[in-house]
Structure 1
Amino acid sequence: MATSVYERIRDAIVTGRFEAGRVLSENALAADFGTSRTPVREALHRLEIERLVERGPRGAIVRATSPEEILDIYEVRITLEGSAARSAAKHATDLDLARLRARQDAMRGLEGADARAAANRAFHAALWEASHSPTLIDLLDRLHVHLQRYPTTTLDWPGRWDEVIREHDELLDAISRHDGDAARDIAERHMTGAREVRLQMYADAAPPRP
């Protein structure tokens, strides 16, 4: 029950149904989910550790994100994605490679931001699993949750989708050849490209200086 409550609250935060600054009342959440306050309290504590929730004067509230925090997450993810790719090149099984190829093939020809974002997430999840490193998988999943809260995707940027497909092909080739150094370098370049697009998106959205 505690896990279910945690997943439901986390999903509501990630999808924006629980907006930044919203007070999360234990009593109200317990009533909504038809449970006692104990699993709600446990869920909120877990979400506080994950920095999705923080303590305020009136109790737990949904944390706001900032451009600086998002860019910091990209910096960390660049390194972790590189490590996952390098590990995948060393440890990926034939089944892992088949899953990666299937996820990559599913991305080709997709239209629409939501479909592309979901397919891209599925490919990276398969890459993390192919690393066979539970620690890397956990850390990358936590980072991705924070990025999901941002309402726009870098995949909408002109030319970015074609670049993503090409870089995934290069990454798959390196992993298939068990070239860990090449896989790491490609993955780091791939995520650096996403960060640079995000920076440009922030710059374009900024109000003009007086």
Structure 2
Amino acid sequence: MARRVLRPRADLQKEGAALSEVYDRLRGEIVDGTFEAGAQLVELALAEKYGTSRTPVREALRRLEQDGLVERAERGMRVRTRSPEEILEIYEVRISLEATAAAAAAQRRSDFDLIRIRRAQTAMDNTATDDPPAMAAANRAVHEAIWVASHNGTIVDLLTRLNNHLTRYPATTLKVPGRWSEALAEHHALIDAIEQRDADRAHDLARDHMTKARELRLQIYRDEPAD
């Protein structure tokens, strides 16, 4: 019987750090558009770019495939392509899950959950409207606080994965004229429903909020210049 060779812990830690660094850098460059939709992701070229071996690149690509940011093509991996059909698919599921999360939060939220949601909303209220990435991050923090208040780990996991898909559509719907103030008002109404433990109203408000986001996302996609 062959003996199992145990690798030194330092080597494993070094590999883990390299994987994490490659994953973070590659994910960031996909999200910010450095690698455009459909771009080929060649392991050897990426390893040279990041100054590492092909192993952490291969593992990073595998993780990004699970995240929905890359896909397999005839010649290896590529940045996942974008389409209006995908937007509709993502939001079809997201609208349902966001509404379910809001209803569950209204039923199950603790006082601490409510404090965390309101703090996130206050931060969003005070976010500068000339900084789209900060606007999107503040908005996401409010939604994530509501997800957590649902006390349903499966919902949180699924919504996190869907949000990963949407990072390939970097333009935020919150920059559409009038949407920022509208979104703030919708958030406050939703949070009030959660505070009052009105699950039905929370469900409907979250559904309507995300339905508007879907329509705006499609509008932005239609208005994008063709490549």
TM-score above 0.5: yes
TM norm structure 2: 0.81
Partner Cα separation in structure 2 for residue 79 and residue 200 of structure 1? 21
Equivalent residue, structure 1, for 2:157: 138
CA displacement, residues 73-122 of structure 1 (integer Å, 9 cap, x when unaligned): 11211001011111211222222111111111112253122322121111
Judge which range, 59-68 or 42-51, deviates more.
Answer: 42-51
Take 2:51 and 2:225, find their aligned partners in 1: how far apart are those partners? 43
The partner residue of 2:122 within 95, 105, 118 is 105
Which of 148, 165, 169 is equivalent to 2:167? 148
Aligned residues: CA RMSD = 2.2
Amino acid at match of 1:186: L
Aligned length: 207
Query: Could you say what secondary structure the match of 1:60 adopts?
Result: strand
With normalisation by structure 1, the TM-score equals 0.87
- Mean Cα displacement is larger for which, 118-127 or 37-46? 37-46
What is the DSSP-based 3-state SS (H/G/I as helix, E as strand, rest coil) of the residue aligned with 2:41? coil
Q: Which residue of 1 aligns with 2:144?
A: 125
The 10-residue stretch of structure 1 (162-171 or 85-94) with the greater mean CA deviation from structure 2: 85-94
Shift of 1:148: 2.2
Of residues 6-15 and 128-137 in structure 1, the stretch that sits farther from structure 2 once superposed is 6-15
Aligned to 1:16: 33
Going from structure 1 to structure 2, the CA distance change for 1:57 and 1:204 (only over 3 Å counts) comes to: closer
- Which residues of structure 2 form unaligned runs of 5+? 1-15
The 5 Å alignment of 1:161-180 reads 161-180=180-199
Letter of the 2:114 counterpart: L
Query: Secondary structure of 1:54's partner?
Result: strand
Alpha-carbon distance change, 200 to 28 in structure 1, aligned in 2, over 3 angstroms:
closer
Taking every aligned residue pair, what percent have the same amino acid on both sides? 57
- Shift in alpha-carbon separation, 1:206–1:42, aligned structure 2, 3 A: closer
